[in-house]
A and B are shown apart, each in its own frame.
Chain A
Amino acid sequence: SQTIHQWPATLVQPVGSPLSLECTVEGTSNPNLYWYRQAAGRGLQLLFYSVGIGQISSEVPQNLSASRPQDRQFILSSKKLLLSDSGFYLCAWSTRPPYEQYFGPGTRLTVT
Chain B
Amino acid sequence: ILNVEQSPQSLHVQEGDSTNFTCSFPSSNFYALHWYRWETAKSPEALFVMTLNGDEKKKGRISATLNTKEGYSYLYIKGSQPEDSATYLCASLNDYKLSFGAGTTVTVRA
- Interface segment among A62-70, A75-83, A101-109: the answer is A101-109
The count of residues in chain B whose C-beta lies closer than 8 Å to any C-beta of chain A is 21
Chain A residues with CB under 8 A of B36:
101
**Main SS of the interface on chain A?**
loop
Contact yes or no, A97 B44, CB < 8 A: no
A89 CA / B32 CA spacing, docked (Å):
24
Q: Does B27 contact A (CB under 8 A)?
A: no
8 further contact pairs, Cβ within 8 A, besides A102-B46, A103-B44: A36-B100, A42-B102, A43-B102, A46-B98, A90-B44, A99-B93, A101-B44, A101-B98
* Complex A-B: 15 CB contacts under 8 Å: A36-B100, A43-B100, A43-B101, A43-B102, A44-B91, A46-B99, A59-B1, A97-B96, A98-B31, A99-B96, A100-B34, A101-B34, A103-B44, A104-B43, A105-B43
| Smallest CB gap from A6: residue in B | B43
Contact yes or no, A97 B31, CB < 8 A: yes
Q: Interface 1/0s, chain B 33-66, versus A by CB < 8 A? A: 0101000000111100101000000000000000
Instruction: List B residues at the A interface (Cβ < 8 Å).
Output: 1, 31-32, 34, 36, 43-46, 49, 51, 89, 91, 93, 96, 98-103
| Smallest CB gap from B50: residue in A | A98
Interface residues on A, range: 10 to 19
| Smallest CB gap from A45: residue in B | B100
Contact yes or no, A101 B91, CB < 8 A: yes
- Chain B's nearest CB lies how many Å from the CB of A1? 14
| Smallest CB gap from B34: residue in A | A100
Contact of A46 among B32, B100, B101, B102 (CB under 8 A): B100
Residue among A43, A45, A90, A104 with most chain B CB within 10 A: A43
Which residues of A14-46 are within 8 A (CB) of B? 36, 42-46
- Chain B's nearest CB lies how many Å from the CB of A42? 6
Contact yes or no, A98 B43, CB < 8 A: no
